[in-house]
Structure 1
Amino acid sequence: MEHSHKDIYVIQNVHLALDILFLLEKKPHTIEKLQEELRISKPKLQKLLNFLHEKEWISYDEENNLYRLGIKNFELGMAYLNHLDIKKVSKPILDEIARKVRENVYLTTRVAYEVLYIERSEVDRNVKILSRYGRVLPLYASASGKIYLAHFDKRELEDYFRTIKWIKHTPNTKFPHELMDELEKIKKEGYATNLEEYEEEVVSSAVPVHDYAGNVKYTITVVAPSYRMKKEDLLKILAVNMKNSTLNFLKVVEKYT
């Protein structure tokens, strides 16, 4: 079947649009960097970027002149995850942890430079925290995010710290140099904690779930009010409950990665 010149033009543009999204999935880019990677003219690239921005597939950070993934990717990702077996098979494990610790437990994955909470087991208690299911949080200010960062290589970390917009969410939010010191410890010990670094009066702990190649594919995280869960309690949960459950979860993940 032969394609007309118009068909070929459309197909080429679709390929280029997808290439843009794949590049932005790794990290935000300036238009100059995108042009360098894609090797196309700036007017043609700008036209594609304008279209993707209009349809909310990408967003533009005017302050830093950076293009990022847009909200449509999140919506499509959530639709995909709703059909993904990993959610179904992980639910009993999350339920088991939640039953033991009596706090909310989540499964997360990484989307570019953010953490996405894709499955949950939430408990019914008098004092509740805002559900994180379906939410996205920055890597630097969440226990799960620190797990992913701890497994970045040197170049990935340099790119990350150079491109993100750092926000002091609470008085406890770590500065980059403080976080760098913590990341080495996290990778060595195999867990991360977050002590009111994104939301005041909310703490969390997380452990990694690796795929068959040793990459961090998911994390399991417990989120609780700080008055109910002190640092020593978080560490106890990690040691007794979460790590054991994660070992069981590894066998499940290998089937779906």
Structure 2
Amino acid sequence: MKINKTASRVLDILSLFAADNEPISVSRISEALKAPKSSTYEILETMVAKEFLEFDPNIKKYKLGIKLFEVGTSYLSNTDLIKDTRPYLENLVKRTGETAFLAVPSGEEIVYLDKVEGSSSIRTTASLGTRLPMYLTGLGKAILAANSDEKITEITKDMKYSPVNENSIKDFNSLMKNIRQTRERGYAIDDREREEDVYCIAAPICDYSNQPIAAISVAGLVTRMQEENAKEYSVYLINYAMELSRRFGYKESKLYFLYAN
């Protein structure tokens, strides 16, 4: 496959903005691309002319432009997964008062695609587009648990475990123990493993090939997500995850049917 150098650099620039999530100078972009500043500047100015980037003269840095917002909005409105899942997230919020999320797997990480805030909104760093390691989130563990042990080993083979606090999973053996518990329970739990005081329950969405394509979750303050509440909410969560899975061709009677003991 022949890759066009300029097109590749444009995409690398957009990926850099996604990673940094803040305005960036031409020097920083040139450095990251290992490209001359002059040619980098020409690409950036073309992207500004096409409204994919904007230049802020006050700080002398570039930021994402309106065209990218339009493209992103078009993507979201035409993505069946997001459109199909949104009513279920809204129903989860109505039933629980907590915040509901949708995420998809991307290598050893998850990417947050949608979020519906409840009346008791929580402070969380998980905004749309955020990437997080699977082992640090209920959503990620829900997805992992729907894979075979062999597939989990493959997905996590290069994973670097960097525990955020004493509740975080610290190694592969601890992860697999947690996954076995998830399969037996029927849903995954994140008990303050990444964010202090936040408790989350999550379940996978599987497709016709029995593979997890996404996960949905309910998250709230641990003081509100008592054991009784979590069990009640898990019934709604599992039912909605099953309904969504059936929309994508899943035929089994349980979410973890293939791998649960």
Do Structure 1 and Structure 2 share a fold, with TM-score over 0.5? Answer: yes
Q: 1:246 to 1:226 in 2, by over 3 A?
A: same
Contact 1:129 1:225 in 2 (8 A): no
| Equivalent in the alignment of 2:110 | 115
Q: SS of 1:118's equivalent?
A: strand
C-alpha offsets along residues 48-93 of structure 1, whole Å, 9 cap, x if unaligned? x968xx99xxxxxxxxxxxxxxxxxxx9996634531321222111
Q: SS of 2:177's equivalent?
A: helix
| Equivalent in the alignment of 1:65 | none
Shift in Å at residue 253 of structure 1? 3.2
- TM-score, structure 1 normalization: 0.64
Which ranges of 4 or more aligned residues in structure 1 deviate by more than 6 Å? none
Contact 2:207 2:246 in 1 (8 A): no
Which range is displaced more, 156-165 or 85-94? 156-165
2:218 to 219, 222, 236: 222
Q: Counterparts in 2 of 1:18-97, with a 5 A limit?
A: 80-97=75-92
How many residue pairs get matched? 192
- Give the aligned residue type for 2:137: S
Q: Percent identity?
A: 22
| Equivalent in the alignment of 2:55 | none
Q: SS of 1:152's equivalent?
A: coil
Contact 2:109 2:140 in 1 (8 A): yes
Aligned-residue CA RMSD in angstroms? 3.2
Shift in Å at residue 254 of structure 1? 4.1
| Equivalent in the alignment of 2:3 | 13
- TM-score, structure 2 normalization: 0.63
- Give the aligned residue type for 1:204: C
- Give the aligned residue type for 1:192: A
2:148 to 149, 153, 157: 153
Determine whether 1:130 maps to 2:124: yes
Q: 1:158 to 1:248 in 2, by over 3 A?
A: closer
